[in-house]
Amino acid sequence: MFVLTPARAATLRALADTFIPAGPTPASAPAGSALVDLDKLAAAIQAQPLGAQTEFGQLLDLLDKPLAGLTWWGPLRPFRGLVPAQRERLLQSWAGSRVPALRQGFQALRKLCTFLYYGGSPADGSLNPTWAALGYPGPVGPAAPGPAGPTERPLKPLTPVVDTTYHCDVLVIGSGAGGGVVAAELAQAGHDVLVLEAGPYCHGPDFTQREADMLGRLYDGRGALSTRDGGVSILAGACLGGGTTVNWAGAFRTPDYVLDEWAREHRAPQFTSPAFKASLDAVAQALSVNTDYPRHNGQNQALLDGSARLGQATRLIPRNEKGLIDNDLYFQGLGFSTLGDAHGVKQGTLNTYLSVAAAHGARLLPDTRAERVTVVGGRATGAEAVHTTPEGRPVRITVRAQRVVVAGGAIQTPALLLRSGLRHPHLGRHLHLHPTVVVAAHYPHAMHSWHGPSMSVVNDTFTRLQGTNFGVKLETPPTHPGLLAMVLPWQSGTQHRLLLQAASHLGSFIVLTRDRDGGRVQADAQGKPLIEYKLSKFDKQNMLTGVRAAAEIHVAAGAHTVFLPHGTLPTLHAEGGTLHNPALLGQLTSLRWHPNRFGLYSAHQMSTCRLGGQRATHPLRPSGETVEVQGLYVADGSAFPACSGVNPMLTIMALAHYTAQGLK
């Protein structure tokens, strides 16, 4: 396990000061080491697979040796022995290096330092001293109106303190879009249901709206999960309610052309059946999906206006929120969905299906990681797991069940099945990530894009490119300071700080790619998932089409500076909707779009246990049952035959609802 030795801590402090040097007024813009919490940084590293922890330790140890100079043809001195200008040149050299490991190391260090600096906040609850210069007011807090109701937790999870064996009809592993729906459907049908969830149960004021705290508590890998080469940062919920607790509240229906493709190419005719449409209708109704929100934030309005000026159609994004009113504080609070909803507005499984499941006798056991599904005679019989008490003490959990439903997400589900002895040749393959890049722009007026619905407008003009079902959607992301600092390219400490100081005037679009060519999830020696993914030439071409489109929409919406998402920071300049240097867009394809030369992100993971009618190539039957083990089902995004092409929450829930009807 990674150990934060005094030497490593000293190197990290020097790195933080190089990534974020003190500003002109150090009281409001202190150097990086003053605000980067090294304990949180170490905890994030310790949440990664053992191999990644070892590599990170070796990276810091290298920087503490004179040999570090050989990596950039600089002085043979440890990083701490260099003067500030030399330290910065070393990092700049690594950022553009032809050696993949050096680029990976640069990006890992940059993301951790900049996120913790801008996304962290003092333990006493006061505000981060840098936020004022960004124009960021910080958490809205409990003053915001909303139907939060009593602060007492409505769900009453199990709290074992000694090794315990539970018996049930159906064990559900995971509580998000898939597991929550299955648990409610089967509990309502009279079955005895037990739900295991690896993450914690948070409610109301537990959602502090503070980025570093919430990502560390609510996300897999403490928010630092990534592919093995570091090329794609992955956000995946790991708390009661799973992704539905931390997603951006977009509730898209699966496009008909995708359902037709799944039914035809994967021999899964249920996707075009009235029964599956009924499942989509049922979950949309349960989540109160609507488009009744009163207004857009700055960047969604820009996407709407810029698209219209270019003659491109947009539409409102259906959202699973209810009871919205046109009130400033209320509007501001909607922007914190990705950090959990403190006010009970978002209708994820935490407030809907899990409540229904509990009301019908289902038992919930959070903070419990399933180690393996037990199998006897080719049939699933339960699971072995470890529960962590509030004091941090491990408790062994054994479950005996007649059926087991795995719904841990497309990263954790295949890893669990592999730990449990399943060996289907396609298990863990076909990983789709909806790889996403951010195109940010500076506007002459304040945007305050961290407030309001994170995503309320979508441009679908480019969803089917090159005569295929693959392309990109243009949407908007959450833009709180930590995430914003992490995605904006870094060329120097001064450049990055100046860019962030204009944060209140920044608007960001995301280019979300429906990827045709996937990756893979494997398990390491300890059973933890290892994620392999490379953006293919085909998918990169589509992504770059989306980057160009996003930039042009920014300009049409009135932005005067557009930052293209490459480490070299190509920058467009415009005035009055006219682009001054359009030739730069034509040069996009000539840049090196290799891993860690640009920021690539994923909030959607799918298809690693895909279902279909071809046993040799699909680990799941159309019913959701594994072809290898009877009584073992999968009901999450990993069961998609291919990626959905839209934010997948509603599709996962519909598939889980459909699977549950068969289980009944």
pLDDT tens, residue by residue, 460-507? 999 999 999 999 999 999 999 999 999 999 999 999 999 999 899 999
Q: Which pLDDT does position 147 carry in this prediction?
A: 46
**Dist. CA 508–CA 97, nearest whole Å:** 28
H and E: helices and strands count for the chain: 20, 20
Closest CA to 638 of 425, 404, 410: 410
Angle between helices 211-218 and 38-46 (to 10 degrees): 20
Q: What angle do CA 135, 136, 137 make, to 5 degrees?
A: 115
CB 412 within 8 A of CB 198: yes
Residue for token pair 């997603």: 247
CB 335 within 8 A of CB 451: yes
Q: Is the pTM of this model over 0.85?
A: yes
Sort strands 519-523 and 429-431 into parallel, antiparallel or unpaired: antiparallel
Residues (pLDDT < 70) of the chain are: 141-151
259: left (phi over 0), alpha (psi -120 to 50) or beta: alpha
Q: Which pLDDT does position 142 carry in this prediction?
A: 53
**Dist. CA 479–CA 437, nearest whole Å:** 13
**Dist. CA 651–CA 214, nearest whole Å:** 26
Sort strands 561-563 and 436-442 into parallel, antiparallel or unpaired: antiparallel
Q: Which pLDDT does position 265 carry in this prediction?
A: 97
440, β-bridge pairs: 508, 563
- Specify the amino acid at residue 314: T
459: burial class by Cβ within 10 Å (0-12, 13-18, 19+)?
A: buried
Q: Which pLDDT does position 141 carry in this prediction?
A: 66
